[in-house]
Amino acid sequence: MDNAVYLHHLDVLLQRYKEALSQFKLDAIVVASGALSYYYHDDNSHPFKPYAGAQQWLPFALPANCYVVIKADQLELIWPAKQDFWHMVNAVPEGEWQSAWQITPVENQDWVAALPTHCALIGPANLEGVPNLASLETWLDFYRAVKTDYEIECLSKASHIAAAGHKAASDAFLAGASEFEVHLAYLNATRQDAAYTPYPNIIGINEHAAVLHYEQKDHLRSFRPLTLLVDAGATYNGYASDITRTTLALNDDFKALHDDVNTLQQRIANQSLDGQSFIELHDQTVAGIADILRTHDLCSLSVEEQIAKRIPQHFYPHGLGHLLGLQVHDIGGRQINHAGDTKPSPAESPFLRLTRPLQENMVITIEPGLYFIPMLLDQLKADVPQHGCNFAKIDKLLPYGGIRIEDNVVVGKSQIRNLTREAFDAL
Ligand code: GLY
Ligand code: MN
Ligand code: MN
Percent of the chain with pLDDT over 90: 97
367 Cβ inside 6 Å of ligand 1: yes
Residue 87 has pLDDT above 90, yes or no: no
pLDDT range class, residue 246, cuts 50, 70, 90 = very high
Mean pLDDT value of segment 73-93 = 93
Q: What is the pLDDT of residue 323?
A: 98
pLDDT range class, residue 143, cuts 50, 70, 90 = very high
Mean pLDDT value of segment 376-396 = 98
Helix axes 134-141, 3-23, angle to 10 degrees: 130
Residue 139 has pLDDT above 90, yes or no: yes
222: helix, strand or coil: coil
Distances (CA, A) of 417 to 2, 8, 413: 20, 21, 10
Q: What is the pLDDT of residue 89?
A: 86
pTM over 0.95: yes
pLDDT range class, residue 409, cuts 50, 70, 90 = very high
Mutate to test the pocket of ligand 1, among 159, 166, 197, 199 (most ligand atoms within 8 A of CB): 199
Q: Judge whether 366 and 266 are in contact, CB under 8 Å.
A: no
Residue 88 has pLDDT above 90, yes or no: no
242 Cβ inside 6 Å of ligand 1: yes
199 Cβ inside 6 Å of ligand 1: yes
Q: What is the pLDDT of residue 193?
A: 93
407 Cβ inside 6 Å of ligand 1: no
Distance CA 356, CA 337 (A): 10
Residue 273 has pLDDT above 90, yes or no: yes
Q: Judge whether 232 and 165 are in contact, CB under 8 Å.
A: yes
